Structure 1
């Protein structure tokens, strides 16, 4: 959990300092996320939590509603005003994450979820914002976001037919969509390997499988490896 906290806070720090980096909409997105996180940290739950996969699906379904709320936060404020309003909120979030104990399970606006998975989803959101606004993300945050997204692949497509590799961040095994062999040892018969940026763009629906394969930043081998194309995108952020 501490690793996820650190990744989230390091990416938030990189987004807000130095000031003047973010667009009005970027500042609005960040204010919405920080506000939502502060509310959720104070909302412990005892009901059964959903999986990270289901939590991201619920976030995808709420993307339009979130965009509307972001517009409401921005209003007619200038970027400088939004930045001043955001600064104390990020400090408050950092303090809140340092307080123990934190709840294991929380009632988020997207449903009951483990706090770990809620914060993993937030890391995905801030990495997306960093890539869009700054064209780069903090390594720790990128690492945690890629690991979270590959965890979702294993939840949605359990099995050991295809090995998905995103060096140096993650390697997982998933099941084929049709009948296929299970890999147990040695060289996997079905392998898909992504450049990290390509995996991210496919995971968030920004690039097509065909274009990625043509660019050489995605390679795959084996009878079932191409079935991985139908597993993307993983999450719709907006």
Structure 2
């Protein structure tokens, strides 16, 4: 059995700052959209841009809502566990998102989300437990998942509108690392080295473990290509054909293990 990777740690203060920074970048992009732009389709199962933006506000304010509820007795889910479990809850997430988008002004919704998050999340202890839809998580871990939501969907927003949404560097780095660790958890091993410079390097896939010199199986790509692969926005074959992805070695095809986040 391959050795278990040491869990990565995240600084809650830096994560909170990254969430706010990325949310502000989303707000800035959303402010440029008219009604036609908001009603445009996205690549997300029938959501319009309006629903996508509402979902991002919901993702951030969920921290506040969960802090208002009693803390569960014990931790059940880590960040990588969240990534693996999220797809099973797509139905309720879709329903809540559509209802929110239909009944709220998006500008006010985003402004309120930022204000409530900044006021509440800044004083919440990192080890406080939250009863999330996938199980009990620490605040510090759940904040990391908010970075992932914002970065992944900011890229969806860019794809849908043509309005480039910038990525906060800390939020982008956090997202890349979470998704790389999720792959290592899904396909544990040491036969393939995945490199996403400048943010992450992980070993994965069962087989002979590399210990010295140049690894025999190496996959390397840039942060956004990795995020699109890890979330199913881009296929392995298309990435090899058109994106900056290199894969060398007999075991370097990761397509059987992707996506890692639904």
Shorter-chain TM-score bucket reads: 0.7 to 0.9
Residue 181 of structure 1: aligned partner: 208
Shift of 1:74: 1.6
Residue 32 of structure 1: aligned partner: 58
Map Cα deviations across residues 177-214 of structure 1 (whole Å, 9 max, x no partner).
xxx21111221111011122221111111111111111
Given that 1:27 and 1:83 are in contact with CA atoms closer than 8 Å, whether structure 2 keeps it comes out as no
The secondary structure found in structure 1 opposite 2:167 is coil
Shift of 1:173: 0.8
Whether 1:159 and 2:183 are equivalent positions in the alignment is no
Closer, same or farther: CA 85–210 of 1 in aligned 2, 3 Å:
closer
Whether 1:4 and 2:15 are equivalent positions in the alignment is yes
Map Cα deviations across residues 130-155 of structure 1 (whole Å, 9 max, x no partner).
11224332222111100111111222
RMSD, aligned CA: 2.0
Q: Give the TM-score normalised by the residue count of structure 1.
A: 0.87
Closer, same or farther: CA 75–216 of 1 in aligned 2, 3 Å:
closer
Tell me how many residue pairs correspond in the alignment: 229
Separation in structure 2 between the aligned mates of residue 130 and residue 216 of structure 1, nearest angstrom:
19
Given that 1:49 and 1:114 are in contact with CA atoms closer than 8 Å, whether structure 2 keeps it comes out as no
Given that 1:15 and 1:21 are in contact with CA atoms closer than 8 Å, whether structure 2 keeps it comes out as no
Given that 1:203 and 1:235 are in contact with CA atoms closer than 8 Å, whether structure 2 keeps it comes out as yes
Closer, same or farther: CA 15–161 of 1 in aligned 2, 3 Å:
same
Q: Which moved more, 1:181-190 or 1:56-65?
A: 56-65
Closer, same or farther: CA 20–216 of 1 in aligned 2, 3 Å:
closer
Residues 34-183 of structure 1 mapped to structure 2, 5 A cutoff: 34-43=60-69, 44-75=71-102, 77=104, 81-134=105-158, 135=164, 136-176=166-206, 180-183=207-210
Residue 233 of structure 1: aligned partner: 259
Shift of 1:102: 4.3
The secondary structure found in structure 2 opposite 1:211 is helix
Segments ≥4 residues shifted beyond 6 Å = none
Q: Which moved more, 1:108-117 or 1:193-202?
A: 108-117
Shift of 1:104: 3.5
Given that 2:190 and 2:204 are in contact with CA atoms closer than 8 Å, whether structure 1 keeps it comes out as yes
Shift of 1:103: 3.8
